[in-house]
Amino acid sequence: MPNPLTLRIATLEDIPQMQRIRNTVTENTLSDPGLVTDADYREYMCSRGKGWVCDWNGEIVGFAIADMQDHNVWALFVKTGWAQKGIGRQLHDTLLDWYFAQTKETLWLGTAPATRAETFYRKAGWLETGRHGQGEIKFEMTYQNWLDKQENPL
């Protein structure tokens, strides 16, 4: 039986489901869900970068968005209850493959300490470079580190 999970480029029609996922995660929560608007998603997906979703029979179960202007991962979230199924890794790898096909600029992201996300990024080869924002860990991925990771996966 074919796998019903499909990874595809995000569309504007996906924004409501992406918002629901972002606003219902239990880690790296927004202090005010109104801070990230539908217009923000449109700008990051259409003007500043690109986004992808993992779709399961019409239901979005994860998404990722790369920001080419600030060279960061603007979003990478998996729906609550869908962790440990490889969705985050597929989204992550697709985002990085696309990003580094566009530029060799170092990519960065911030995530809260002591979270599953922190562990995920460390295992994926991201290097901690300090702090960002409100105590988040700042991670970076260089073009060369990404290439090396592809040649020598764990």
25-58: per-residue pLDDT in tens?
Answer: 766 666 666 778 999 999 999 999 999 999 998 8
Give CA torsion, residues 145, 65, 129, 79, to 10 deg: -100
Strand partners, 59: 56
7-21: per-residue pLDDT in tens?
Answer: 999 999 999 999 999
Which domains are seen in the chain, by residue range? Answer: 5-151 (3.40.630.30)
Distances (CA, A) of 8 to 3, 36, 42, 133, 150: 14, 22, 16, 30, 21
